[in-house]
């Protein structure tokens, strides 16, 4: 290779050679560590888990990489020298290094790419810390005698400083004493005070006082579930539990006990929840029971994230609660991992490294040899199958606490709902009646519609034209408030038209129902009620989510409608009716998980009501009331659903019976995309047929495709995909590695590998 040829010509200067070498990985798809010599003056500073700067790539550009190994065995070839060590302390613990190493192997990407993604930007650049000047009075014995004369301002400052009793931020002293920094300087000059500079966290972590809740006595079911968990925590060691419990069955109470137990052992607990469940309510529950809780969510600034990271790394945090990426929290003494709503799709990251937070968490628990507890009312079928195979211990809480009933779910068959004269309505007469009854009794109503915008289908009945994105094979949604047609994938917007851009007819139709149109209809039907919409269009500002939920809780809002954002993790005792406007949205997508997702969403929604004393019902409007995803959600029958759906998956060789890897080839040039998809798939076919492998790997591995991806054009790229399937992850990975290690896309073409893909479009 040219790189090594060049480096051979520039051997390290013997004067600086230390005999120590560092292996460095870079933020590149290459899964390969490069050896560098460590010059003598950096030997003290170099360390595994630190970032370095080293000449890399074309032109030996100074490039930041991560040191993953330090050793003294000279590489076979002459190597270049690292030029700088960027961190004073290792950013990564040993166990995080091992975890990220595994991720690079499993998700087939560069170790450096994983490290880059895992370390929050605020940690890399020390965001959130600043140099701060502190002032303190000199010790009593060192005070000058006689005391020097002070001006009025100086005495004011001197008084405040003495009362502070120790070091205090100069800024604060100035503010408190109403003086400028010059006055403080005179105190120093007169020998009364001294100052020093420290790097401190900019954003103190806010600890809010919460009242410790009344102690809870576990019920019989909870006791049965708690016993093995407690015993496992006491004994230590890796063990995976799947806690299947209906909504309101007391799962969180089990999590809290488990956390208290590990804290007692002096260890830390990591709790992963979907981003959307990181509500103030959830956080308060943890804060109320555990002393030091760090919360990591996507609205944090780089600085805040960095501050949390450093506090956690310093061992100052007992419990980390966070969304997907919190799985990489740098806890040094982890004793337990918990994942709530483990089935949630948001645990899967859709950019490199395309990891699944739950699976990474299980691996972390294995590597750290600690228990992991995964909970859900509707476990992912992958997890359910793992429990059936005995890889996870299944724990069940089949009933709600205190014998509260699960809500009654009524299905409204839209095929038989009378339509009011012509005009399309979102809410049929049955649901409308139920709403009036609930509201009339002082209850609150939630309405779910998993599609945002006003009109989701803009078309011309004269020529058949459908408004579609110019970059994507996706139809445009009309947003009335923004007065624009929008692509929900790439963000492309254009002004709405009155005449068909294709045939010029003035008959363009704005049809299809989104949350915005639903809101207009509800406001017209219930003019004396306060209606609020919650979707990603209305919840753009940080804190808006919380404000709306608070207002809803306080009863200032009577009808809350929105996308699945409203369905998750909320708990409102006064909600006596939950309506699903159209359960079929999402059911017919070309994705083998469509049925599972619909079931999960319906079951979640069905769990949103009836939590308080007042009870409550759920009403689901659907065109397919007999579809198992809907009928079994209505009877709260996860077990039956899992059985049916697993049989279907087995028959069609889908996960969890087969491992899947999806390869996507994309290019702005259609022919180039198609040609490389064929080349790459051909290379895989070749690898499957290789005669030197006995038995031939084609026996255990299937290749489907290449074909146009279901959404063929996306963000201006033409996309082809194909899938590799195998019952054996080992076989799958060995073939992937073999082919991908030599695959090179021509310029202008990219390919992505998605192991255990979640998004099939």
Interface residues toward ligand ADP, by CB under 6 A: 216-219, 222, 245, 247-253, 401-402
CB of 649 to ligand ADP, least distance (A): 26
754: helix, strand or coil: strand
Q: Among 367, 120, 365, 399, which residue's Cα sits nearest to residue 249? A: 399
Pairwise CA distance, residues 234 & 431, whole Å: 51
Using the contact rule CB under 5 A, the part of the chain among 373-381, 462-470, 476-484, 506-514 near Zn ion is 462-470
In this complex, which beta carbon is closest to ligand ADP, that of residue 252 or of residue 519?
Answer: 252
In this complex, which beta carbon is closest to ligand ADP, that of residue 245 or of residue 407?
Answer: 245
Q: Among 86, 63, 62, 65, which residue's Cα sits nearest to residue 23? A: 65
CB of 323 to ligand ADP, least distance (A): 17
CB of 402 to ligand ADP, least distance (A): 6
Site size with Zn ion, rule: CB under 5 A: 7
In this complex, which beta carbon is closest to ligand ADP, that of residue 110 or of residue 569?
Answer: 569
In this complex, which beta carbon is closest to ligand ADP, that of residue 120 or of residue 250?
Answer: 250
253 binds, among Zn ion, ligand ADP, none (CB under 5 to 8 A by kind): ligand ADP
Structure tokens at 534: 């919650």
The answer to whether 83 and 54 are in contact (CB under 8 A) is: yes
The answer to whether 254 and 321 are in contact (CB under 8 A) is: no
Among the listed residues 54, 487, 688, 760, the single contact to Zn ion using CB under 5 A = 487
Q: Among 737, 739, 755, 734, which residue's Cα sits nearest to residue 658? A: 755
CB of 279 to ligand ADP, least distance (A): 12
222 binds, among ligand ADP, Zn ion, none (CB under 5 to 8 A by kind): ligand ADP
CB of 152 to ligand ADP, least distance (A): 58
487 binds, among Zn ion, ligand ADP, none (CB under 5 to 8 A by kind): Zn ion
Q: Is residue 86 close enough to count as binding Zn ion by CB under 5 A? A: no
Using the contact rule CB under 5 A, the part of the chain among 373-381, 486-494, 716-724, 744-752 near Zn ion is 486-494
62 binds, among Zn ion, ligand ADP, none (CB under 5 to 8 A by kind): none
In this complex, which beta carbon is closest to ligand ADP, that of residue 611 or of residue 627?
Answer: 611
DSSP 206: P
490 binds, among Zn ion, ligand ADP, none (CB under 5 to 8 A by kind): Zn ion
Pairwise CA distance, residues 108 & 724, whole Å: 14
532: helix, strand or coil: strand
Contacts 24+ apart (CB under 8 A), 537-546: 537/452, 537/453, 537/479, 537/481, 537/482, 538/562, 539/565, 542/299, 545/279, 546/279, 546/280
The answer to whether 490 and 469 are in contact (CB under 8 A) is: yes
Pairwise CA distance, residues 155 & 390, whole Å: 74
DSSP labels for 320-355? Answer: EEESGGGGG---SSEEEEEEESTT-GGGB-SSSS--
In this complex, which beta carbon is closest to ligand ADP, that of residue 113 or of residue 252?
Answer: 252
In this complex, which beta carbon is closest to ligand ADP, that of residue 55 or of residue 245?
Answer: 245
Q: Is residue 471 close enough to count as binding Zn ion by CB under 5 A? A: yes
Using the contact rule CB under 5 A, the part of the chain among 162-170, 480-488, 607-615, 646-654 near Zn ion is 480-488
CB of 404 to ligand ADP, least distance (A): 8
In this complex, which beta carbon is closest to ligand ADP, that of residue 251 or of residue 308?
Answer: 251
68: helix, strand or coil: strand
Among the listed residues 287, 400, 492, 659, the single contact to Zn ion using CB under 5 A = 492
469 binds, among Zn ion, ligand ADP, none (CB under 5 to 8 A by kind): Zn ion
Q: Name the burial class of residue 38, with classes exposed (0-12), middle (13-18) and buried (19+) by CB atoms within 10 angstroms of its CB.
A: buried
129 binds, among Zn ion, ligand ADP, none (CB under 5 to 8 A by kind): none
In this complex, which beta carbon is closest to Zn ion, that of residue 492 or of residue 517?
Answer: 492
Beta-bridge partner residues of 52: 65, 85
In this complex, which beta carbon is closest to Zn ion, that of residue 138 or of residue 490?
Answer: 490
The answer to whether 622 and 584 are in contact (CB under 8 A) is: yes
CB of 215 to ligand ADP, least distance (A): 10
Q: Is residue 472 close enough to count as binding Zn ion by CB under 5 A? A: yes
Q: Name the burial class of residue 417, with classes exposed (0-12), middle (13-18) and buried (19+) by CB atoms within 10 angstroms of its CB.
A: middle
Lay out the site mask for Zn ion across 134-163 (x = CB under 5 A, - = otherwise).
Answer: ------------------------------
492 binds, among ligand ADP, Zn ion, none (CB under 5 to 8 A by kind): Zn ion
472 binds, among ligand ADP, Zn ion, none (CB under 5 to 8 A by kind): Zn ion
Using the contact rule CB under 5 A, the part of the chain among 129-137, 210-218, 357-365, 467-475 near Zn ion is 467-475
In this complex, which beta carbon is closest to ligand ADP, that of residue 253 or of residue 382?
Answer: 253
CB of 537 to Zn ion, least distance (A): 16
CB of 658 to ligand ADP, least distance (A): 32
CB of 719 to Zn ion, least distance (A): 13
Angle at 336 between CA 332 and CA 337, to 5 degrees: 100
Neighbours of 464 (CB within 10 A): 10
Cβ density class 364-394: b for 16+ within 10 Å, e for less: bbebbebbbbbbbbbbbbbbbbbbeeeebbe
In this complex, which beta carbon is closest to Zn ion, that of residue 99 or of residue 467?
Answer: 467
Cα–Cα distances (Å) from 745 to 452, 680, 700, in that order, read 37, 9, 27
The answer to whether 128 and 201 are in contact (CB under 8 A) is: yes
Pairwise CA distance, residues 129 & 312, whole Å: 15
Neighbours of 33 (CB within 10 A): 19
CB of 489 to Zn ion, least distance (A): 5
Among the listed residues 167, 490, 594, 683, the single contact to Zn ion using CB under 5 A = 490
Alpha carbon dihedral 477, 482, 484, 490, in 10-degree steps, equals -60
CB of 633 to ligand ADP, least distance (A): 16
Query: Phi/psi zone of residue 58: left (φ > 0), alpha (ψ -120 to 50 degrees), beta?
Result: beta
In this complex, which beta carbon is closest to ligand ADP, that of residue 204 or of residue 215?
Answer: 215
Exposure of 730 in the CB half-sphere (CA atoms within 13 A): 0
CB of 455 to Zn ion, least distance (A): 17
251 binds, among ligand ADP, Zn ion, none (CB under 5 to 8 A by kind): ligand ADP
Neighbours of 102 (CB within 10 A): 17
CB of 375 to ligand ADP, least distance (A): 7
Q: Name the burial class of residue 59, with classes exposed (0-12), middle (13-18) and buried (19+) by CB atoms within 10 angstroms of its CB.
A: exposed
Contact positions vs Zn ion (CB under 5 A): 469, 471-472, 487, 489-490, 492
């Amino acid at each position: 290779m040219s790189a090594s040829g060049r480096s051979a010509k520039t051997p390290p200067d013997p004067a600086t050679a230390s005999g120590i070498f560092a292996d460095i990985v870079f933020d590149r798809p290459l899964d390969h560590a490069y050896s560098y010599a460590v010059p003598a003056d950096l030997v003290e500073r170099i360390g595994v888990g630190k970032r370095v700067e080293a000449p890399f790539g074309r032109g030996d550009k100074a490039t930041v990489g991560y040191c993953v190994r330090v050793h003294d065995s000279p590489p076979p070839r002459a190597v270049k020298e690292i030029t700088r060590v960027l961190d004073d302390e290792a950013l990564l613990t040993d166990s995080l290094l091992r975890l990220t190493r595994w991720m690079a192997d499993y998700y087939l990407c560069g170790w450096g790419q994983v490290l880059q993604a895992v370390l929050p930007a605020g940690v890399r650049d020390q965001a959130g810390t600043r140099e701060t000047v502190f002032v303190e009075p000199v010790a009593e014995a060192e005070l000058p005698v006689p005391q020097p004369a002070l001006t009025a301002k100086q005495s004011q400052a001197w008084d405040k400083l003495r009362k502070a009793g120790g070091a205090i931020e100069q800024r604060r002293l100035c503010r408190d004493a109403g003086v400028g920094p010059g006055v403080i300087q005179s105190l120093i000059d007169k020998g009364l005070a001294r100052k020093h500079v420290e790097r401190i966290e900019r954003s103190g972590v806010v600890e809010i006082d919460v009242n410790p809740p009344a102690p809870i006595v576990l019920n019989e079911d909870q006791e049965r579930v708690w016993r093995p968990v407690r015993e496992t925590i006491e004994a230590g060691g890796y063990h995976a539990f799947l806690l299947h419990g209906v909504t309101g069955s007391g799962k969180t109470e089990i999590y809290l006990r488990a956390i208290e137990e590990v804290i007692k052992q002096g260890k830390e607990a990591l709790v992963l929840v979907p981003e959307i469940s990181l509500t103030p309510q959830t956080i308060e529950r943890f804060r109320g029971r555990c002393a030091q809780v760090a919360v990591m969510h996507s609205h944090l600034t780089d600085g805040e994230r960095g501050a949390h990271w450093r506090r956690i790394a310093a061992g100052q945090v007992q419990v980390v609660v966070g969304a997907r990426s919190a799985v990489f929290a740098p806890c040094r003494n982890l004793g337990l991992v918990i994942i709530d709503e483990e089935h949630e799709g948001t645990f899967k990251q859709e950019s490199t490294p395309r990891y699944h937070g739950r699976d990474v968490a299980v691996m972390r628990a294995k590597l750290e040899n600690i228990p992991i507890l995964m909970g859900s009312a509707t476990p992912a079928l992958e997890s359910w199958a793992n429990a059936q195979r005995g890889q996870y211990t299944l724990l069940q809480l089949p009933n709600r606490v205190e014998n509260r009933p699960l809500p009654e779910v009524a299905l409204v068959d839209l095929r038989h709902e009378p339509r009011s004269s012509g005009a399309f309505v979102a809410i049929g007469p049955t649901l409308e009646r139920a709403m009036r009854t609930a509201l009339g009794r002082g209850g609150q109503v939630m309405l779910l519609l998993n599609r945002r915008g006003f009109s989701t289908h803009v078309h011309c009945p004269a020529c058949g034209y459908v408004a579609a994105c110019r970059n994507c094979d996706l139809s445009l949604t009309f947003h009335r408030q923004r007065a624009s047609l929008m692509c929900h994938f790439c963000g492309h917007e254009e002004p709405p038209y009155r005449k068909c851009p294709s045939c010029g007819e003035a008959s363009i139709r704005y049809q299809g129902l989104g949350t915005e149109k639903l809101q207009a209809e509800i406001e017209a039907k219930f003019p004396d009620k306060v209606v609020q919409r919650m979707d990603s269009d209305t919840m753009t500002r940080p804190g808006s989510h919380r404000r709306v939920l608070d207002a809803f809780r306080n009863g200032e809002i009577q009808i809350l409608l929105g996308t699945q954002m409203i369905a998750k993790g909320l708990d409102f005792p006064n909600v006596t009716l939950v309506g699903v406007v159209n359960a079929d949205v999402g059911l017919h997508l070309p994705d083998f998980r469509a049925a599972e997702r619909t079931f999960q969403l319906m079951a979640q929604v069905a769990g949103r009501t009836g939590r308080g004393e007042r009870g409550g019902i759920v009403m689901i409007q659907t065109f397919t009331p007999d579809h198992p995803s809907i009928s079994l959600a209505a009877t709260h029958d996860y077990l039956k659903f899992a059985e049916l759906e697993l049989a279907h998956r087995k028959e069609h060789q889908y996960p969890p019976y087969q491992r899947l890897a999806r390869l996507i080839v994309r290019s702005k040039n259609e022919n180039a995309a198609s040609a490389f998809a064929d080349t790459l798939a051909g290379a895989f076919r070749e690898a499957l047929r290789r005669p030197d492998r006995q038995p031939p790997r084609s026996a255990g591995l299937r290749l489907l495709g290449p074909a146009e991806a279901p959404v063929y054009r996306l963000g201006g790229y033409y996309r082809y995909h194909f899938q590799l399937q195998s019952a054996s992850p080992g076989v799958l990975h060995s073939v992937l590695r073999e082919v991908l290690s030599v695959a090179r896309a021509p310029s202008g073409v990219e390919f992505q590998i998605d192991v255990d893909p979640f998004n099939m479009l």
